[in-house]
Amino acid sequence: MASKKEILNKIRIFITQSFDSPQKAFDFFDKNQDGYLTKKELKKLIKSANVNAFVSSMVARKMIAGLDEDGNKKFDWREFKKAVEKLIAEDTSETKV
């Protein structure tokens, strides 16, 4: 099974290479356009990043639990943006020597 770091790296690469901005990624996966990514919508994003389907449900649940600031079990744009910025910042800090 892939490590947390490997999974998050796949998600970061997918978002940065597939979309011009985190907002476009959010809008693409917010299928019902309600301004939130549900666990189901987040699972689709994770699967699109080539994360194993078996693991994607667990990853989505843990991401929401760890990053859902208002406790509504969904990601709003602000929470999503903060998570993506954190992923990108972690990658940038790891590549510096």
Question: For the residues 62-72, what does the mean pLDDT come to?
Answer: 87
The verdict on pTM exceeding 0.85 is no
Where exactly are the structural domains of the chain? 4-95
The helix/strand/coil state of 75 is strand
φ, ψ at 37 (rounded to 5°): -105, 115
Four-way CATH pick for 4-95: 3.40.50.300, 3.20.20.70, 1.10.238.10, 2.60.120.650? 1.10.238.10
Round the CA-based radius of gyration of the chain to a whole number and report it: 13
Query: Is 47 in contact with 56 (CB distance < 8 Å)?
Result: yes
pLDDT tens digits, 2-20: 788 888 889 999 999 999 9
